[in-house]
Amino acid sequence: MKYYKFVYYLVLGSGAMRIGLALAVAAATAAVPATAANLITNGDFEAGNTGFTSGYAYSPGGNSTEGQYTVRSNPFPWNSAFVSRGDHTTGTGLMYVGNGAPTLGDIVWQSSTIAIAANTNYFFEAFAMNVCCSFVLPGNSDPNFTFRISLDGGAPTDLATLTIPANQAGTWFGLSTSFNSGTATTVQLSLINANNLRQGNDFAVDDITLSTRSVVNGVPEPSSWAMLLAGFGAVGGLMRRRRTVAAA
């Protein structure tokens, strides 16, 4: 029902209709979860090198070549050319740090298979940072990630290829994609290297999320209901004040 019609009935409809509508609104509101959970295990990397897989080689002791990654609290000095910065979650937690190789299609990060609801809109998002370099290098390039999903174990679908802006090493950027699950009840998520250069293709990733709410853009899913309720409250308040005035 359209909002203006709703208000029309609320103001001019019968008392029984108003009570019925109020109950309907209350029931619908109760069905909306207060917060939308992140369905990804260890998406904030606070548990360390667990809960995901990678086509890159885990190299916690240091970075000697392209195509290696680690999970740590600072890109520096895993590679002494990388910036010294804190993670995205708290500034003192852990993040994924990778030295991107010039090979298109490498799996930087991949989730396990995640149970989802059918016919639901999901946001697949991550915060990423260009970590190269602590000094300006000629020929620096942007790290690019393709956000890829596989629904119910089917063929991969690329949602978008997003770039972490150049020349802003050490700045976290929110990258946001979304999809509708359709008939699927599971999904596997991947971040794929989409930069065929070596130099400057170096990155940190943190707070990877799969949720019905956008963390990057701050879009709260129950907003429509909250706004409706606020509107009803205002109308109800107006009616009460009018009644009070009339009775006096």
Give me the residues that bind Ca ion (CB under 5 A), please: 44-45, 66, 87, 89, 93, 99-100, 201-202, 206
CB nearer Ca ion, residue 99 or residue 150: 99
CB nearer Ca ion, residue 46 or residue 221: 46
Q: ω into residue 132 within 30 of 0, thus cis?
A: no
Closest approach, Cβ 88 to Ca ion, in A, equals 6
CB nearest Ca ion: which residue? 89
* CA 214 to each of CA 147, 151, 170, 220: distance values in angstroms, whole numbers, following the listed order: 15, 20, 23, 7
Calculate the dihedral angle through the C-alpha atoms of 17, 18, 21, 26, rounding to the nearest 10 degrees: -140
Closest approach, Cβ 102 to Ca ion, in A, equals 7
Closest by Cα among 126, 68, 127, 74 to 98: 68
Closest approach, Cβ 70 to Ca ion, in A, equals 13
List the strands of the sheet with 172-180, edge to edge.
57-58, 68-72, 95-99, 202-211, 121-130, 172-180
Closest approach, Cβ 93 to Ca ion, in A, equals 4
Which amino acid belongs to residue 157? Answer: T
CB nearer Ca ion, residue 36 or residue 208: 208
- For residue 27, count CB atoms less than 10 angstroms from its CB and return exposed for 0-12, middle for 13-18, buried for 19 or more: exposed
CB nearer Ca ion, residue 110 or residue 186: 110
CA–CA separation, 80 vs 195, rounded Å?
22
CB nearer Ca ion, residue 44 or residue 142: 44
Closest approach, Cβ 158 to Ca ion, in A, equals 22
